[in-house]
Amino acid sequence: MAQLIRAATVLPARRTPITFTTEDGLNLVGELALPQDRDPAATLVCLHPLPTQGGMMDSHVMRKASYRLPALADVAVLRFNTRGTESERGRSDGEFGAGETERYDVAAAVRYAVDAGLPNIWLVGWSFGTELALRWGLDAVDGIDGAILISPPLRRPTDADLDRWAASGKPLVALVPGLDDYLRPDEARRRFARVPQAEVIAVENAKHLWVGEPYVRLVLAEIVRHTNPAALNPPADETAAI
């Protein structure tokens, strides 16, 4: 996997604009990035940060995941704009639902991945996207393998949502910045203690937006470590390679 990766690097992949329809009749726009010449080993369904604060499918960590991971880690990356969200790819139908009606967006994205025959589907949420994953991820059609939470605020999810994850037994990984604006590692450990299988990874000096290549590489390496660890070879190179 070792190669020089810069902030703007775009590696080869099969990138396809996609549109899918929610149960309540909205068309959502996105992109599916696949390894260029082989089948993926795992799939990420990305749930972006809060659209009312500029979050969208092109938010930088998710954009860089789609630019790098299909080539470096044999991981398919499905990004999309939740209802009412706009990016360069276009605007999804509907209006922001404050995390409620977005339940249909999560289900539709997972259903698209399942219908496409994509393997080992993981939700990857960032900030607001983590709340969608925690609240609605277990309702997704045909289920998911697990979820990775980047900067979870834990504002909208309740203890009942966490208890459902505990009962599911599905892996739950939380990447928590040491300098986060909303939830820091000690409080995250306390809240996620309700989920025995949850892994809380504290990242010293990181902030909510993960600005800077070292932090982006760390996030992407952790995603790969949990979704397709065989791609990290040798493990000592993981953050340098991605």
Three-state DSSP class for residue 85:
coil
Q: Which residues contact 40 (CB under 8 A, 6 or more apart)?
A: 34, 70, 74, 75, 76, 118, 119
pLDDT at 143: 81
- Kindly list the domain boundaries of the chain, sorted by start residue: 14-241
What pTM was estimated for this model as a whole? 0.94
The whole-angstrom separation of Cα 109 and Cα 30 is: 9
Are 109 and 143 in contact, with CB atoms under 8 Å apart? no
Say which residue the tokens 């990004």 belong to. 79
Q: What is the pLDDT tens value at each position of the chain, 242 positions in all?
A: 346 788 889 999 999 999 999 999 999 999 999 999 999 999 999 999 999 999 999 999 999 999 999 999 999 999 999 999 999 999 999 999 999 999 999 999 999 999 999 999 999 999 999 999 999 999 976 789 999 999 999 999 999 999 999 999 999 999 999 999 999 999 999 999 999 999 999 999 999 999 999 999 999 999 999 999 999 975 544 444 57
Q: What is the DSSP annotation of 120-177? A: SEEEEEETHHHHHHHHHGGGSTT--SEEEEES---SS--HHHHHHHHHH---EEEEEE
- Residue 37 near residue 48 (C-beta atoms within 8 A): no
Q: Which residue has the tokens 């994850």?
A: 165
- What are the tens digits of pLDDT across the range 213-237? 999 999 999 999 999 999 997 554 4
Say how far apart CA 137 and CA 123 lie, in whole Å: 7
The amino acid present at 235, given as its one-letter code, is P
Q: What is the pLDDT of residues 24-44, one digit of tens each?
A: 999 999 999 999 999 999 999
The second-level CATH assignment, the architecture, of 14-241 is 3-Layer(aba) Sandwich (3.40)
The reported pLDDT for the residue numbered 238 is 47
